[in-house]
Chain A
Amino acid sequence: MGEIKVSSITKDYKDKRRALDDVNLCIKENKIYGLLGRNGAGKTTLLNIINDKIFPTAGKITVDGEDLIENEKILNSIAYMMQDVMYPLNMEVRELFEWAEKFYIKFDQAYANRLAKKFKLDVTKELIELSTGYSTIFKDILTLATNARILIFDEPVLGLDANHRNMFYKELLKSYNEKPKTIIISTHLIDEVADVIEEVIIIKKGKIIREESVDRFLSSAYIVSGRTNNVDKYLENRDFVVEETMETLKIATVLESTAKKSMGLKEELKLEFSKVELQKLFITLTNS
């Protein structure tokens, strides 16, 4: 339970700008996904559609085979941590936790309060009084405590200091380890989630350019470096992106399976191979 199917979703805004262009995705149940994209790539638009906050221009979303639109049962099984604050600003944190029970029948009040204590979030404060970081923490806690089978986080560490970010990832993994659920995290701090996520979705200018496991994604490219003319020789007939040229040194990302590395040429041309990092490969693929 918790599989999301996104079929041919297109979204045009009033100004005719196409925010999403024929997006197809299958979010498998009980896995942690990283939704990665540059600013304006369409991440939040996609998440808003998955949560029935806005309507798509075309296409359809199903959760466990059921149509999502205005389907209360399904929508209550998804907890969505939005960037925008959609709660009454003059309500206290503890009142909001109680309020959340109305929407999420499995909401865990005790857990929410435990987390609030851990993060030193004052539950007697009104929402409007919270700093950017604490506003994010409040939304994170609320989302975690819903016990929903699908958790979606849009920028869950926005404004959080390093200690709180660390705590958030740990609490998220603790919750996931205790009870598997489908989790989608949209974030710009790619390095920090690289080992947390199992699957990666990369969106570029409204189109999905990659959707696969992190392992597979990382083995789809590797880095080669060496003397410029030698690297050039290696790159002949290979798909690549040049990362750096300094004097006679050249570094390039080769866009082919790591299994296709030529160890013979490496020896002959005195080259070095190294693995790509998630963030690095993301930048390479979304640079243009």
Chain B
Amino acid sequence: MLLKFKDDKAVYIQLAESIEDDILREIFNEGEKIISTTEISVKLKINPATALKGINILVDEGIVYKKRGLGMFVVKGAKEKIMLKRKNGFFDSFIVPVLGEAEKLEISEDEIVKMIKGAKANGRN
């Protein structure tokens, strides 16, 4: 879990996203226990209330659940859920900024498509 904490996003949102990344990268697998709020708080030097707020986003979205006295565990199907959510956000998070930057630089749509194809061919994806 590597957080920059300088992003334009609040720390607890960055925290939730970074745990989602860890689930996508299969660092935490479905059914497995994730890092506790205490560990997050101490390791990342953040207030436990912030850590809890981040984890609660994941609870609300049905990505992790609490086993009383044991900790937080990854829900079955969580990975798919995250992928679906991220795919829905892909347009806003990635395509819109690319188009915005392209407009500033007067890069045409054809050129963008060419770049994407070129990057794929070069294995830079």
Contacts and interface: CB of A to CB of B under 8 A. Distances in A.
Interface of A: 32, 166, 169-170, 173-174, 176-178, 195-198, 215, 274-275, 277
A185 B67 CA distance: 34
Interface string B29-51: 00000000110011111111110
B102 interface: no
Nearest to B104: A270
Interface in B41-93: 41-50
A166 B42 contact: no
B10 interface: yes
A183 B43 CA distance: 19
Contacts of B106: none
B42 A174 contact: yes
11 contacts: A169-B45, A170-B42, A173-B46, A173-B47, A173-B48, A177-B38, A195-B5, A195-B44, A195-B46, A198-B50, A215-B10
Contacts of B110: none
B99 to A, nearest CB: 14
Contacts of B47: 32, 173, 195-198
Nearest to A166: B45
B26 interface: no
Contacts of A277: 6
Contacts of A176: 48
Contacts of B42: 170, 173-174, 177
- Which of the listed residues B11, B46, B47 has the most CB atoms from chain A within 10 Å of its own CB? B47
Nearest to B39: A177
B73 to A, nearest CB: 20
Main secondary structure of the interface of B (DSSP, over half): helix
Interface of B: 5-6, 8, 10-11, 37-38, 41-50
A274 B8 contact: yes
A276 to B, nearest CB: 11
Given A173-B41, A215-B10, A274-B8, 7 more contacts: A170-B42, A170-B45, A173-B47, A176-B48, A178-B38, A195-B47, A277-B6
A200 B50 CA distance: 14
A169 B46 CA distance: 9
B45 A177 contact: no
Contacts of B48: 173, 176-177
A30 to B, nearest CB: 10
B8 A195 contact: no
A275 B5 CA distance: 12
A86 to B, nearest CB: 29
A196 B51 CA distance: 11
Contacts of B5: 195
- Which of the listed residues B6, B10, B41, B42 has the most CB atoms from chain A within 10 Å of its own CB? B42
B8 A275 contact: yes
Closest 5 CB pairs of A and B: A195-B46, A177-B38, A169-B45, A198-B47, A173-B42
Contacts of A196: 45-47
B107 to A, nearest CB: 18
Contacts of B43: 170
B60 to A, nearest CB: 18
A176 B49 CA distance: 11
A198 B42 CA distance: 15
Nearest to A214: B47
A271 to B, nearest CB: 13
A270 to B, nearest CB: 10
